[in-house]
Structure 1
Amino acid sequence: MDLQTIGIALVVICVIFFLFTEYEKRATFRKLHSLLARGEYGEYLTMLDSFLVKYLYPKYNRLYMKLNGYMFIEDHEEIGRLFDEMLAMRVTKKQRKDLVLKAFNYYVERSDGKRAKALIEEIDTWEDDENQKKESHRIYDIFILKKYSYIDEMEERLKEASGLDKGFLEYLLALQYDNKGDEKKSAMYLEASKKDMITSVEEARKAADAKEKKKN
């Protein structure tokens, strides 16, 4: 067998190996997504520790998927441990921003001012991301500092909002009115937020089901 034939054979083997790996990666992701959607969290987390998943996905990606699983079951001790491990890893700029925002939103929801403050200080160092900085400070002010100075601005934005954006704005308004001591308006916005969030999720699920049926 000459060198040219050997070279061609090696290329073919590499292509086949690449295609097999990509197929397995997508099939595994679909299975993991299905387990998570069905609420089979134990099997989902076990699968993430399997040899196949460790082979197919980098450590950061596996930890990120684990983090999502533990968030569903609200295991806050494990969530905190994973955030500490992942925030100490060297990752791409895009991955870092995504992780910092995920951690920031989690810690403000938990009213953990110390951790949220450290994260918002990092967010403030991001260049060319003024909108994200402003939005993060609004969240920090409302959740941690218990301010209600964004009510007028958010009620104005609410007039043109829809879907999940509308539901989230209503939630922030509910929190602000609670901070202000107006329990009636807080309850009103909280109820509206729940309704709009549920409707948006149901519509997204129906669209996903329709897309899946069309594909099959």
Structure 2
Amino acid sequence: MVWTPVVLYLSWVSYTSLAQGNTRLFSSFTTEYSIPVHKYYFPFIFLLGMILWSLLEYLIHRFVFHMKPPASNYYLITLHFLLHGQHHKSPFDSSRLVFPPVPASLVIGFFYGVLRLLLPEVLGLSVFVGGLCGYVIYDMMHYYLHYGSPKKGTYLYGLKAYHVKHHFEHQKSGFGISTRFWDYPFRTLIPEETFKKED
């Protein structure tokens, strides 16, 4: 309810801004060799933002939510428990499945600022809105993986089984939530279980 209207509005702003034809890549370094960014590139830039979000989702889950704070640091232990420890302790507590909008807006604002520094304004906004859409999909998917009943054999059924294994059996692996993709290159894939057939 909070972020979807923002995604729709910023997508419209990004597309219409790119349609003006003023956006060029590398224009801050050279005008002679700068590359124009056409409005038809918007879906690909948006998709790039979603892919970057999926990587960020993996990295945050693995290195922030599953960090090992020093046993002597009360504040880091408390922060870790509030960020993710409580969710593992009570995985079916519906109030712990989606990041609240106010703290989420601080994190989202930080990443928007980083993209504004690294890329031309409209290009950064286009990547950002794709990432924000990825975040919305992740939040909805995470909630569904805990409370939904996907049909056996579907993509979401496999993800639900994978996420349940992360919660109850393999907390040091299986950090991908909306996709297992990043668990492959980072070698944190939960191993497939094999069952011997009984004769």
TM-score (structure 2 length as normaliser): 0.27
- Which is helix-richer, 1 or 2? 1
Higher CA-based Rg: 1
TM-score (structure 1 length as normaliser): 0.25
Q: Which has the higher contact order (CA 8 A, sep 6+)?
A: 2
